Structure 1
Amino acid sequence: MENSLFDKTFRDSEGNIVIAQPPNLPLLVGITATVLTLIVKSGNIHTGLDAIAFGSLFTWAWQELFEGVNYFRRALGLLVLIGLIASRFPNNF
């Protein structure tokens, strides 16, 4: 198999094209906590859920960035990581 840019971008080590995968634990926890923050609008529970959501999604993005199966998954991790960090800055720019 030729190691073209397409192969490095979309294929895993076994030659399969990988764009989406079943969610792992940090992603499941992050999505669940994010949905719960939309239900619980204020208070300590909201703050805790927000921290759990951020930490879980940050962990997922970090894992994808450094352990993703191909360049696409690594780029996805980088984009989510940048988005998470940017979401924490105030909108005063």
Structure 2
Amino acid sequence: MTQTTLFDRVFRDENGNVVIAQPPNPPIITWAVASVLTLLPITDNLQTALSVVSFGALFTWAWQELFDGVNYFRRSLGLIVLLGAIASKLQW
């Protein structure tokens, strides 16, 4: 009988592989592209639209990681990014 360590619980997936980074999925690619495009000299309406798309894509990615992440590390990452994304939109 093998004992599961804290490292195993946090960083290993259901197949026993250590998973910290993964290939990008569509929401994170969408976020990256929209974020870069907001840096270009564009109209205010397009800037707003890209900001909404960027936030929505990042929110979607974080939500998916939080509830479908392959391990506790990925789920924690989703929670941190989700809280950070929401906090960035709050008026302090």
Normalising by the smaller structure, the TM-score range is over 0.9
Structure 1 residues 20-78: Cα deviation after superposition (integer angstroms, max 9, x where no partner)? 00000000001110111121455100000000000000000000000000000000000
Percent identity, aligned pairs only, is 57
Per the alignment, residue 79 of structure 2 pairs with: 78
Using structure 2 for the length normalisation, give the TM-score. 0.92
- Unaligned runs of 5+ residues in structure 2 are none
Deviating above 3 A after TM superposition, structure 1's stretches of 4 or more consecutive aligned residues are: none
What SS is found at the alignment partner of 1:53? helix
Per the alignment, residue 15 of structure 1 pairs with: 16
The structure-2 alpha-carbon separation of the partners of 1:77 and 1:40, relative to structure 1 and needing over 3 Å to count, comes to farther
Per the alignment, residue 25 of structure 2 pairs with: 24
For 2:71, the aligned partner's letter is N
Per the alignment, residue 66 of structure 2 pairs with: 65
> Aligned-pair distance for 1:8?
1.0
Q: Distance in 2 between matches of 1:26 and 1:17?
A: 23
Using structure 1 for the length normalisation, give the TM-score. 0.91
